[in-house]
Structure 1
């Protein structure tokens, strides 16, 4: 580190310390090559992702493929995001080593034998979720495979290795082992309403969530009274045969085991599929495209019952009622005890957010790049309830360049507004605690 760099770091540290802010290291140059952060049962190796500039050296914002941080001292790790690579294991490693690709994950899991490679330290922020807030507070795990061919690639060895890794990370960072914290990439919300169509949908409908959650020691089991307002979706993967369509390739996929259960606008298979209002204009039906997650609910996701009909259950979903089949003498869903959020008395519409950033007044007056949460296109209306109520970290990690040339660079700004996580639809979201009440149901 040059004397100029040391001076910049000292200035940044002093400024951040005076404001009660957390500052990450300015440079990895002196960092010793780490051992992989893994449970002993896994023989993980370490292959570092690229952290270097991609253009003019004077342009400090042109770099890849992750950001330095010092989590959890800067900001908490509260989520784990599971992906599939849509590439081979070897190609994925090459992509994350190429700074021009501007992408990374903390870990990559090989399909054939479940071998785990770590590429980004868990204290640092990988560029993996497509939502900077979730990036800042999550660990990303890429699994070798292709979403529309999941059954071919998602091997027993992969399930076991990923589960062992998730258990280890969840214990290390105190992450709840539920589907609002152990996420698929398809469960990550956009940061703005306009960003919804660009969000990813991996690992897709053929990832066996029920089996995976069982490996974590959290299988879908009845915990509530019969007729509970809260249910956990729990189809038997092998018998839940679904025929979706690969709309990106214009190909019908064969009927095969799936974690996904179709959602309809009415309690009838002749009714239109439910349409995520963030993906489809008003009046347009949802589709059976594998990537159209508004028209599906996945195994081990929870929902609040709005209405019941013989053989059908209606749930609150993206501000409306969506229906899925629950035939008698089957176990498509189980009664669950847990917490739900609903608008406080007197509120008719509660905004939903894709981030939990500070308010504008939480930032220093001389900070020129504050980021605040903006509402998504969904609201929680009076009379509706959604699973959740778990506090989520409120803050913004500012890291626009490869060094700390600006006093606030690589700084975490905590927020004073308290946000809670909710399962608004297939993707999680956040609400302000001041807007809702959290109620336990049995």
Structure 2
């Protein structure tokens, strides 16, 4: 194999353009629906492709299915590349062009402190070739298929993955048809750079084999029957992989092998305020961490690490690589990263970046979702953060942030299943009270525009999404609420999976919820519902024109004698006495004062109590004195 590797023919593709075109061609392909109460359908062509490839290359079928599930959940994604440049159900990787990591996502004031705005250096968006390992050329050599066929033909792609697994098994010198004896080949398939990440991938593959799985994919229904396997984990040593670096400095489950790549705290100029790229604090003692913010990188893993290691730029807590789920940690949790674009949220949250894009055709691997969920569950348990959409936020839910990642194509429903807390909803029809936004990701395919920045008016590829639109009237040809557009980055009339809203009115299959001080109408077809009844605590304004704030800073009197300057809470909108909004959490007013490199940094605590509410797609805050409460 080594002789083949240096002869690779590496072709480059622009991920955004290639993904958009491929998904557009596949827009008419729908997920295969299967009613558990109906007669079980015959094996699909996708299922047959796995059986044929396993037989041809001598790979246990359950091993082939398990590896493919951990990459793509058996889905072809219309031939579009993943965020790691992987194609097809087996995630055969090729070099693709992607943003280096310093594009628009990392080119704005993520500190979010109006009293000390950031002065970021200008940086051009640069396209670079992905730096991960390439497997598609080896698959082409082993199967005789062209690289084009391996990218676009699911059957050929599955055969290519089977051929790679068989080749890895032969290289390891293991001759067995027992699935337990394929652990080393499975671990190698991840192409991980360290032993722990490789083992984690293999362990998750074998957990799927043991538990079994079934998916209705874009190529038909695929099923993996549960099979008890006692995998030979000792084979990992045959790969001669090093351990990840700096794991003793990370806050991370040991089996994830998080690597320590620190964000620098350094002076960047002669002025005391010229420093980066985070602030020192003592959050273990002074501030409660009460939220975890999910981001996507809008660039490559390597380029994103370049950003977080630059003292003139910004920082966050973790970065997760798409190809193998590898995790890097960057900040001591006591300190405050510049990540969410809102100082009050930054103070109280941890931020996790996921290698990927909010709008392009690129998709996230299953191992990325799983490792992220494992990390978030661990952090939520450590800091007593409830696992719900009021506390596990997208960057697009942060008040007054100008970002909208991870975007509508992040599968929140699947993510919460992996977290072990599937969002449960009360039974029955919707007549009032509250609702949870709960579309089926695969079946919910709203038409959006703006994914192709060279043509903002062009429709995005039709694909599964976590978001629904709100209309100004209960009809599908009515304007969107707030004169919003259907652009993928316009959050003016969107609600996301798991968010809860108070019901304002019901007309047939249309449900109005209170949204930014107005009634926003959501169509909720009986045969394809996107809403579910929910129980919730709601805040009801005591009067008209109650302010909704961006931040949760203390009242003016709390600053007296501290040396800090009073900072008012900006008002983002107002709400009236006939409205109600679901309450997420109670927050005591606080402000971290951090302005200069050498400090002093300290926390100002106030008497004012705020309540986080779901005001729109983003959250907001109301003064507890301005509202009363009810359970609906």
TM range (shorter): 0.7 to 0.9
Change in Cα spacing, 1:389 to 1:89, as seen in structure 2 (3 Å) is closer
Counterpart selection for 2:338 from 127, 143, 157: 127
Partner of 2:446: 242
Cross-structure match for 1:138: 349
In structure 2, the partner of 1:390 is 585
Which of 466, 482, 494 does residue 259 from structure 1 map onto?
A: 466
Q: Is the 8 A contact 1:78 1:392 kept in 2?
A: no
Change (3 A) 1:144 1:33: closer
Change in Cα spacing, 1:436 to 1:389, as seen in structure 2 (3 Å) is farther
1:419 to 603, 610, 618: 610
Of 279, 287, 305 in structure 2, the residue corresponding to residue 67 of structure 1 is 279
Three-state SS of the structure 2 residue aligned to 1:142 is strand
Tell me which protein shows more helix as a share of its residues: 2
Tell me the equivalent position of 2:31.
none
The corresponding residue for 1:356 is 552
SS at match of 2:607: coil
| 1:365 to partner: Cα distance | 3.2
Q: How many residues align?
A: 383
2:535 matches 1:337: yes
Give the Cα separation in 2 of the matches to 1:112 and 1:122: 26
1:215 aligns with 2:410: no
Give the Å deviation of 1:143. 0.6
How far did 1:51 drift? 1.1
**Residue in 1 aligned with 2:504?**
306
Partner residue in 2 for 1:291 = 489
Q: CA deviation at 1:152?
A: 2.4
Query: Greater CA deviation, 385-394 or 351-360?
Result: 385-394
Q: Which residue of 2 aligns with 1:169?
A: 379
Residue aligning to 2:195? none
Name which structure has the greater RCO, CA cutoff 8 Å, separation 6+.
1
Aligned equivalents of 1:300, 1:431: Cα separation in 2: 21
TM-score, normalised to structure 2, is: 0.59
Asked whether the 8 Å contact 1:303–1:315 carries over to 2, the reply is yes
* Structure 1 residue ranges without an equivalent (≥5): 1-31, 191-197, 276-284
Distance 1:85 1:167, change over 3 A: same
Aligned to 1:35: 249
Query: Retained in 2: the 8 A contact 1:133–1:356?
Result: yes
| Per-residue deviation, residues 157-197 of structure 1 (Å, max 9, x unmatched) | 1111111111111111111111111100000002xxxxxxx
Hey, which of these two has a bigger chunk of strand by percent? 1
Q: What is the root-mean-square deviation in Å for CA atoms of aligned residues?
A: 1.7
1:20-74 residue CA offsets vs partner (Å, 9 max, x unmatched): xxxxxxxxxxxx9961111233111100012111112xx1211111111111312
Q: Secondary structure at the match of 1:183?
A: strand
Mapping of 1:194-205 within 5 angstroms? Answer: 199-205=402-408
Measure how far apart 1:311 and its partner are.
Answer: 1.7
State whether residues 588 and 608 of structure 2, in contact with CA within 8 Å, keep that contact through their aligned partners in structure 1: no
Find the aligned partners of 1:40 and 1:80 in 2 and give their Cα distance.
20
**TM-score of the two chains, using structure 1 as the length reference:** 0.83
5+ unaligned residues in a row in structure 2: which ranges? 1-245
Cα distance in 1 for partners of 2:332, 2:432 equals 42
Q: CA deviation at 1:254?
A: 1.1
* Greater radius of gyration (CA): 2
In the aligned structure 2, how far is the partner of 1:239 from the partner of 1:153? Answer: 17
The answer to whether the Cα contact below 8 Å between 2:613 and 2:622 also exists between their aligned partners in 1 is yes
